[in-house]
Structure 1
Amino acid sequence: MKPQHPSVRRISECFLKPDIECLPQESKQPYYLSHWDLNLLPIQYIQKGLLFRKPSEAFEDGHPFMATLLHRLKRSLSSALFHFYPLSGRLASIINEHQASILVYVDCVNTPGAKFTHAALDLTISHLLSPVDVPLVVHSLFDPDLHTAVNYDGHTLPLLSIQVTELLDGIFIGSSFNHSIGDGTSHWNFFKTWSEIFQSLPPDGDDIVSISRPPIRKRWFPDGHGPIINLPFTHSDQFKIRFKAPELRERIFHFTKESIAALKAKANAECGSEEISSFQAMSALVWRSITRARRQPQNQITICRMVANNRAKLEVPTSEDYFGNVITTLKVSAKAGEVVEGGLGWAAWKLHEAVVDNTKEKFREAVEQWFECPCTFRLDQIFVTNSLSMTSSPKFNIYGNEFGMGKAVAVRSGCANKFDGKVSSYPGYEGGGSVDLEIALFPHNMANLEADSEFMSAVSSPPHLFHQ
């Protein structure tokens, strides 16, 4: 039998929001969503969190470390929500039975705010990081009310829920972030702002402080469309599909910058090219290795998806500070035999072609096609057998977030949006171009991946996480 871990104890919870009187006038109006945002209504929340080591003073008798930390986290979070006020709102809908349509927007006024939970778990950092697999207890470090929630549930559930879990020697800050409000770039921009405010907040006085990179909250809409976008549904059941993750194994695989450089050089050499990127080469290795691990028949189709950030493709290119969703999925299909037998370069070139083919013209054409036939994503079409999805990004400044405890020792995710073939990429702890891949697979597929010599020769043990 597997050892039973202690369970998370939830100590307190509250809701936080900025003072409505201090917010700009537009916050009193409906906050309309773009078509990319609406597309994600049936998808589950983004669940990402950071694990920190407690500082030495936390172990001193009588030191108010935890009380002080929680107070500063709440103050700085309220201040961050002043700049990212849609996260303290709730979704609202107007259904038009005559036109068979539904309008979904964010109500930033009639809302209790973002949720903040203080919890405790009688385990150490080592308990969470030392096992080969990511232990299931990690999922409990995120708001359990949002584990299976989809973004549309933001009508009655918070759009942002923060859970701060005290470990015996560490602190985990877990964020459940409604994906219809923003993509991964938006999530980590919010997190960075929260961290920046935490570090600059005065001991007392005004909690509304200036920030270095204010979010661009104004949603982008193509000419002739928006801001009001009606979906062709009269009830959420017409597009809201519940998804429960199957039994999976999750592991973190570490790639050093030298290993990634070798993969890139090999892929380009096989193609007689210099155009394949490091991420494309690494993704090709994962695609080939997981296809082999699944023991797929040669003629069976396998799919690799990559997420593209399209902020630079808007009519007026916007910066990375744009708050919302501007992502599309690049889908590459091939027969399993082609992926396995074609070599690393062959697979990497297929992925490279998909990236090159994601032009401004095709991007805008896809936008127009959506408005001609509005729709939403379907989980049962994304989480399909024999596919994998490369999500998140090693470019996110994840380890730049500090909350008075120094650099985080690890990033982990919750149970939302997990399926066989879900791959999340993060910057490696040591930086410098290293990458950590969090891979979720059926147990038998993971066992086969662990026996794959090509894959395992490219990964290595992560640097010692307890080294200062």
Structure 2
Amino acid sequence: MSTIRVISSTTIKAPSQNDGDSAEKIDLPPWDLQFLLLETIQKGLLFHTKNHQIHHLQHSLSSTLSFFPPLAGRLVITRHHDNNNNNSTATCHITCNNAGVLFVHAAAENTSVADILLPNYVPPIVHSFFALNGAKNHEGTSQPLLAVQATELLDGLFIGFTINHSVVDGKSFWLFVNSWAEISRGSLNPSKSPVFQRWFPNCIEVPIRFPFTEKQAAQQCSEKILNPPPERIFHFTKEKIAELKMKANMEGNTNRVSSLQALLTHLWRSVIRCKQVKLEEDVSYFLSIGVRTRMVPPLPEDYFGNALVVGGVTMKAGELVVEGGLGKVAMEMNKMVCLQSDETVKKEYETWVKKPLLISPTMLSVSHSLATSSSPRFDVYGNDFGWGKPVTVRSGRANKGYGKITVFAGVEEGSIDIEVCLPIEILEALGIDPEFTHTFSN
């Protein structure tokens, strides 16, 4: 496979702009602030077509930014000094000043759609299909909050989206992409209207202050992943997922376990079994959980920002792979998810304000743990920009570490694709594990 050739880099702005003192300001809550030290969200779509127009993509992106002004803005981090105890704190907001987004036009002349679509392991060249690799979210003070790279292949196009994770979560990410696709097809307005007003409890003083300096951020983020872990894609059909769900609920004597909970539990047990973890060691599974519908009253469906918490299940490896069984462990995951109630979420929110904690890269790499992001509910395959639907979705290298699990809807209705980042020997073992192989297809 070839390396890529950058043809052009352009700044795209919305047709109308508010800048300077008139720019709208959006203060950020803990759900957004916690991601400042991490890298961006990187997801991309692969199209099997030569009938694409780069200038049309740029024009429709500009039109779409009119409806998503935060993405064309920048972060503003303001330092505050407390004279009483010499402590330094900061506040952070988005200024919707239409500074613009980055659009990169590139080409990979010797790479075909099949080169990306067919291998079980994600080819390393995919990481070069994304702009702003290595950028941290707090660098959105000077770097674009959104960068798009359109890479022409021999027989297709890959559109890579890099979006600041302190501005959006996965649901907001795909709301933007869905809206851009609609406008690219000729719609004058997106079918869904994003809600930019962030949620703050009445008792919270805004803007929220938290400890932060560039020097501290540099120390926290000094670790670079020089050799990103291999990524293998496992495909699960609707029928196999239904079988796992039925088995989990029968073993657990319940009907509460969801399809995704059963599938992730099955993956967790299989990974720990293949890793041959000692039975007395602790193992953990962390899951990003959306809270829009868990709040009372619920947040707007199209709340445009982060609205998620991270929940976890920890147990002994022996409980997971020997004593538990699929049903028992799936019920533990179900209980953890159900605990994320309105009361729990609000309490954690207020606790964060009193004792702020920014997630660091090292916190994502815990021995014998898996962590899942994204969701099969996001509309990936409805993104037709005018030349047909995508044939697959892939993610960039941002925040990749051993144990990172990314979940996507599969191309067939009801199917799920799971991208697993683990040492190659574990991924190979998964591929031949008898309990695991009968549930996935290549």
TM-score by length of 1: 0.89
Deviation of 1:345 (Å): 1.0
- Provide the alpha-carbon RMSD of the alignment: 1.8
Tell me the residue number matched to 1:256: 237
Instruction: State which of 104, 107, 120 in structure 2 corresponds to 1:120.
Output: 107
Distance 1:151 1:234, change over 3 A: closer
**How many residue pairs get matched?**
434
Q: Deviations over 1:386-426 (max 9, x none)?
A: 11012100000110111111111000010111111111111
Asked whether 1:377 is paired with 2:377, we answer no
Residue identity in the other structure for 1:115: L
Deviation of 1:451 (Å): 2.3
Residue identity in the other structure for 2:235: H
Asked whether 1:300 is paired with 2:281, we answer yes
Secondary structure in 2 matching 1:312: coil
Residue identity in the other structure for 2:147: S
Secondary structure in 2 matching 1:398: coil
Tell me the residue number matched to 2:161: 175
Q: 2:273 and 2:22 mapped to 1: Cα distance?
A: 51
Secondary structure in 1 matching 2:402: coil
Tell me the residue number matched to 2:306: 325
Deviation of 1:337 (Å): 1.1
Tell me the residue number matched to 1:7: 3
Deviation of 1:180 (Å): 0.3
Tell me if structure 2 keeps the 8 A contact 1:185–1:320: no
Tell me the residue number matched to 1:227: 206
Asked whether 1:91 is paired with 2:78, we answer no
Secondary structure in 2 matching 1:231: coil
Deviation of 1:243 (Å): 4.0
Deviation of 1:71 (Å): 1.5
Tell me if structure 1 keeps the 8 A contact 2:220–2:361: no
Tell me if structure 2 keeps the 8 A contact 1:152–1:240: no
Q: 1:327 and 1:41 mapped to 2: Cα distance?
A: 15
Tell me the residue number matched to 2:12: 16
Distance 1:34 1:234, change over 3 A: same
Residue identity in the other structure for 1:9: R
Distance 1:318 1:247, change over 3 A: closer
Tell me if structure 2 keeps the 8 A contact 1:81–1:88: yes
Counting only pairs closer than 5 Å after superposition, residues 123-162 of structure 1 correspond to structure 2 as 123-143=111-131, 146-162=132-148
Q: 2:20 and 2:141 mapped to 1: Cα distance?
A: 22
Distance 1:304 1:442, change over 3 A: same
Asked whether 1:336 is paired with 2:327, we answer no
TM-score by length of 2: 0.94
Tell me the residue number matched to 1:188: 174
- Percentage of pairs with the same residue: 39
Which blocks of at least 5 consecutive residues in structure 2 are unaligned?
Answer: none
Deviation of 1:210 (Å): 2.4
Deviation of 1:312 (Å): 1.7
Counting only pairs closer than 5 Å after superposition, residues 382-421 of structure 1 correspond to structure 2 as 382-421=364-403
Instruction: State which of 49, 71, 74 in structure 1 corresponds to 2:55.
Output: 71
Residue identity in the other structure for 2:104: T
**342-351 vs 315-324, which moves further:** 315-324
Q: 2:122 and 2:282 mapped to 1: Cα distance?
A: 29
Instruction: State which of 262, 266, 273 in structure 2 corresponds to 1:281.
Output: 262
Deviation of 1:244 (Å): 2.8
Secondary structure in 2 matching 1:118: strand
Tell me if structure 2 keeps the 8 A contact 1:150–1:242: no
Q: 1:137 and 1:91 mapped to 2: Cα distance?
A: 30
Q: 2:394 and 2:64 mapped to 1: Cα distance?
A: 22
Tell me if structure 1 keeps the 8 A contact 2:120–2:234: no
Deviation of 1:233 (Å): 3.0
Q: 1:242 and 1:418 mapped to 2: Cα distance?
A: 15
**25-34 vs 342-351, which moves further:** 25-34
Q: 1:390 and 1:181 mapped to 2: Cα distance?
A: 20
Tell me the residue number matched to 1:466: none
Q: 1:247 and 1:38 mapped to 2: Cα distance?
A: 26
